[in-house]
Amino acid sequence: AELRARVRNLLQLKSYGDYYGKYSEALEAQVMERTAELASSEVFLRSTIDALPLEIVIVGPEGELVAVNEAWKSFARENNYTGDFISGVNYLSVCDSHASISEDAFLTGRAIRSIIAGELKDFRLEYPCDSDTEKRWFCMDVRAFGSAIPTSVVITHQDVTTRKHMETQLLHKQKLESMGQLAGGVAHDFNNILTVIRSYGDLLLADTEIAPAHRKDIEEISRAADRATNLTRQLLAFSRKETVSPRIFDLNEQLSNIQSMLGRLIGEDVKLVVDYQPGVHLISIDPTHLEQAVMNLAINARDAMPRGGVLTITTRLCTLGADCPELSADMDPGKYVLLSVTDTGSGMDAETLARVFEPFFTTKPEGEGTGLGLSTVFGIVSQANAHVRVASTPGKGTEFLIHFPIAEGQISFAAIEKTNNAQRGGEGERILFVEDEASLRKLGSRILEKNGFSVSLAADCIEALKICSESAVPFDLACIDVVMPGMGGGELAVLLLDKYPALKILMMSGFNDDDLLRRGIGNNSIPFIQKPYTPTDLVAKIREALLDNASQSSPYLRLA
């Protein structure tokens, strides 16, 4: 009996052993499975972190460098960091060793210690780094890695040079736009004054009884006014408020037409080299403005090569991708027609390059330049919805790159100007002259009455409406200044055309800003004369506006 009991106990122990053995095997299998899953998860996590374009560093509570990803390793290799900076280094010690010579290193070390101690949640720093080729910008983010105190920190690091360049371009463009607004306003006011000076000068010159000595003095006044007019036109071009007549044309053909003139402009000491890619797409811009821009660039290049050199003008069809460095913040990726103007002159330093398109900025000696040449180029290009950028190295020359959007449509040709009515005066037509500047009202009255028109004057839009409503005989034409206090000229034109459909309108302004005139006249086109004008200009424009078949070569402002 005792033997049987012992056998039974042994058999029972064996069954327990078999059971626990199987349980142990199952548990071991589960542990191995979980271990494999964790290993796989760790590999997946590591692969994910390594695949990120950000440089990632994990720093322990004592400042030791715990782990880095592949992007950081590549960054370290590219910047010639030692192997110790990838593993086994104390990050805080590195910051401390550079703190005396780098404020960024001091701030980073202090922030990491504050985050480790739980005193700071996160820290961000953008800092520059000068290399042999260019200045690059980096962004560093430091955050707590875990909830324990003291904690580890995770540092993400990335190159933000492209973003910084785009921000700089945007700020520079906004600065130029602000300066353009100021320049446009100044030019508008000066054009009002110049209209009076030029027109009274012309009226005096038309007087046959003026003594010869006085006539010469008046001619000098007129020539000075003409020079001032050219300056204000350059200001208006920079501010993008000059009247334009864009055409669709072949850039290569237009450049070929002015090539001989450019050769004479730059002189014999400068060699002109052209390389026009056949078959480039059409562009849309005022052809006279394009010529002015190219000539300004050629003059700038000539002045940068006083001992001679090479001026190269090329055209290309190019494609700018989303990641292309030539694509500025306000450009869409795609195809562009590229015009490049390159010289082998003295080049520009970074400070000059940053201000190259500012009006009145010049490096020439006093009296040798207005500082408006390149600012005019900027305004012309911007008004054509194109983009200009410049690259330059001191002693190696300068390159201006202009990217034109590809124009849709057929080549358009300039209309032939009509001059058959330019010398013809009035025949008693009734003119309402609306101008808030008293000197210009007086001038307008004198010019028009002298040329056979019947004139009524209004100082503002309210007075103009009152005169029209009280007049027994309708007016034939209203000359209206665009910018006036209170109701603007565009709104007055709307009201007058609604009430008097047969009335002709001629708008006047020191600059042309379409937004001032969009007051809801549908698709009607309103003739426009830009100040400063001469008596002959004003009379010819009024004769043209009075005709139903007005010359289509004139600048028109469209009210929409």
For the chain, domain boundaries: 1-47, 55-159, 166-239, 249-405, 430-558
Strands 430-434 and 477-481: parallel
| CATH class entry, domain 55-159 | alpha beta
Q: Can you give the pTM of this predicted structure?
A: 0.48
CB-based contacts of 28, cutoff 8 Å, min separation 6: none
pLDDT, one tens digit per residue, over 22-51 is 777 777 777 777 777 676 666 666 666 777
The token pair at 533 is 């004008």
**pLDDT greater than 80 at residue 165:** no
CATH numeric code, 430-558: 3.40.50.2300
Minimal CA–CA distance to 192: which of 8, 443, 369?
443
Per-residue pLDDT reduced to its tens digit, 77-103: 776 665 545 556 788 888 888 888 888
For domain 166-239, the CATH architecture is Orthogonal Bundle (1.10)
Token pair for residue 185?
């306003």
Residue 156 has pLDDT above 80, yes or no: yes
Mean pLDDT computed over 470-489: 89
Read off the pLDDT of residues 241-283 as tens digits, 9 standing for 90 and up: 555 667 889 999 989 988 888 888 888 889 999 999 998 889 9
Lowest mean pLDDT among 21-25, 527-531, 544-548: 21-25
Query: Which parts of 146-221 are beta strand (E)?
Result: 152-159
Question: Do 426 and 453 contact (CB within 8 A), yes or no?
Answer: yes
Q: What percent of the chain has pLDDT over 70?
A: 77
- Which residue did the predictor score with more confidence, 14 or 500? 500
Q: Do the domains 249-405 and 166-239 match in fold? A: no
The single-letter DSSP state of residue 30 is H
Residues 6+ apart with CB under 8 A from 518: 490, 559, 560
Q: What is the pLDDT of residues 189-224, one digit of tens each?
A: 777 788 888 888 888 888 878 888 888 888 888 888
| Distance (Å, whole) CA 397 – CA 393 | 6
Question: Where does residue 125 rank: exposed (0-12), middle (13-18), buried (19+ CB within 10 A)?
Answer: middle
Q: How far is it, in rounded angstroms, from Cα 404 to Cα 406?
A: 6
**DSSP at 90:** B
- Rg of the chain, C-alpha, whole Å: 38
Sign for the pseudo-dihedral over CA of 76, 81, 85, 91: negative
User: What integer best gives the mean pLDDT of the chain?
Assistant: 80
pLDDT for the residue 145: 84
Assign 548 a pLDDT band (cuts: 50, 70, 90): low
Give the full edge-to-edge strand order of the sheet including 309-320.
Answer: 270-276, 309-320, 334-343, 397-405, 387-393
The predicted pLDDT at position 414 comes to 43
421, pLDDT greater than 60: no
Mean per-residue pLDDT, 401-428: 66
Please list, in sequence order, all residues whose beta carbon lies within 8 angstroms of the beta carbon of residue 187, skipping any fewer than 6 positions away: 232, 233, 235, 236, 239, 241, 510, 511
Residue 522's pLDDT band, with cuts at 50, 70 and 90, is very low
If you write DSSP's letter for every residue of 31-54 in order, what string do you get?
HHHHHHHHHHHHHHHHHHHHHSSS
> What one-character DSSP code corresponds to residue 83?
G
pLDDT of amino acid 382: 86
Q: What percent of the chain lies above the pLDDT cut of 90?
A: 22
d(CA 171, CA 529): 34
Domain spanning 249-405: CATH superfamily = Histidine kinase-like ATPase, C-terminal domain (3.30.565.10)
Q: For 252-317, give the DSSP string.
A: HHHHHHTHHHHHHHH-TTEEEEEEEPTTPPPEEE-HHHHHHHHHHHHHHHHHT-TT-EEEEEEEEE
* 379 against 404, higher pLDDT: 404
Q: Please check the confidence at residue 560 and state whether its pLDDT lies above 50.
A: no
How far, in Å, are 4, 6, 28, 462 from residue 18 at the CA level? 21, 18, 15, 110
Of 94-98, 117-121, 372-376, 467-471, the range with the highest mean pLDDT is 467-471
